[in-house]
Amino acid sequence: MNELFKALLINEQESKFTKEIKALRTDQLPQHELLIRVSYSSVNYKDALSAAGNKGVTRTYPHVPGIDAAGVVVNSKSDLFTEGEEVLVTGWDLGMNTWGGFGEYIRIPAAWALKLPSGLSMKEAMCFGTAGLTAGLSVHQLLKAGIQPENGEIAVSGATGGVGSIAVAILAKNGFSVAAISGKQETAFLLDTLGAKRIIPRDEFSATFDKKPLSAPSFAAGIDTVGGSILSGMLKATHYGGIVTACGMVAAADLHTSVFPFILRSVTLAGIDSVQAPMEIRKQVWELLGTSWKPAQLDSMVEEISLDALPEKLDAVLAGKARGRYVLAHAH
């Protein structure tokens, strides 16, 4: 088959990058095992980088970003999937150097796809997307380390962003008391929608907890999405035997700390990667996201957008002006 479809195409001309809604053909897609008609995608910081021409994310242009996709298999050359099955795809190389979910069709290796969990619709899967998987992997690490609600407060940074907002909501739903760290004035969203117990302004957090080699033990654990002084402050303020997960670097890629949190308080720093995460752990986390971890307010945490609105939203994400999640709905 050779279908026409719409996509957001990023072009490079004389080191400048343009965003344009274009009509493409399915025979322009790479020759992999699964052809999927995409119903929903979601907007991530990595997508915004790709759309802005970041060569660390996407090497060659023209390119269709979109590291997340949920849709229906329309052609399968694999025994793992049949035509008509609903699937989701996050991570691997989708949207980075393989054309992604900002087009109405993708063609991918079968090993990248996951059958849609029974507890999730395709839209709900993209309300989570890579951000939800990353948040889920972070919460999973805390639970694996034995952190329970009675151990104390959990600090979550970047709490109005994609990963942070979902992490707050999952933790709150499961009985944890969450301190949301944010640089934005989003009190109702953080406390009422997501369920955080209190808000700590970003600058106040750094000033309070990142001044000395060790701070007063204030949190049972932490989920950091931004890096820099927030991450080092979180490490310095975690209780004995606690854990801090790190998954982002939007504030800074460097980390200035001492060995004291590790050798005096036995704090663990756990890195979180959702791109190459093994399929077995992905399945576990997605099943939980579809059941006991699914926030009742999931739909109100996202804004559904069309392909036409996508360029503006990508600019907002890149500028740090996004709140919650944007879910792209393809009209077909």
Whether the pLDDT of residue 176 is over 90: the answer is: yes
Q: What is the pLDDT of residue 322?
A: 72
Mean pLDDT of the chain: 93
Residues 228-246 have pLDDT tens digits of 999 999 999 999 999 999 9
Task: State in Å, rounded, how far the first CA of the chain is from the last one.
Answer: 16
Structure tokens at 95: 């949207």
Q: What is the pLDDT of residue 262?
A: 96
Q: Which domains does the chain have, with CATH numbers?
A: 4-116+297-329 (3.90.180.10), 131-271 (3.40.50.720)
Q: What is the pLDDT of residue 78?
A: 94
- Tell me the average pLDDT across 148-154: 97
Residues 211-225 have pLDDT tens digits of 889 999 999 999 999
**Cβ neighbourhood burial of 316 (10 Å; 0-12, 13-18, 19+):** middle
Identify how many contiguous H helices and E strands the chain contains and give both numbers: 9, 15
- Tell me the average pLDDT across 170-180: 97
Is residue 109 reached through a cis peptide bond, with omega within 30 degrees of 0 on the bond before it? Answer: no
Q: Does the pTM of the predicted model rise above 0.85?
A: yes
Whether the pLDDT of residue 108 is over 90: the answer is: yes
Please name which of 140, 136, 81 lies closest in space to residue 114, comparing C-alpha atoms: 81
Whether the pLDDT of residue 276 is over 80: the answer is: yes
Q: What is the pLDDT of residue 29?
A: 94
Whether the pLDDT of residue 316 is over 90: the answer is: no
Whether the pLDDT of residue 323 is over 80: the answer is: no
Residues 6+ apart with CB under 8 A from 258: 213, 214
Which position has the token pair 């939203």?
313
Q: What is the pLDDT of residue 321?
A: 75
Q: How confident is the model at residue 324 (pLDDT cuts 50, 70, 90)?
A: low
| 321-325 LR contacts (CB < 8 Å, sep 24+) | 322/43, 322/161, 322/162, 323/160, 323/184, 323/186, 323/189, 324/160, 324/162, 324/165, 324/189, 325/42, 325/43, 325/127, 325/129, 325/131, 325/162, 325/165, 325/166, 325/301
Whether the pLDDT of residue 325 is over 70: the answer is: yes
Q: What is the pLDDT of residue 221?
A: 98
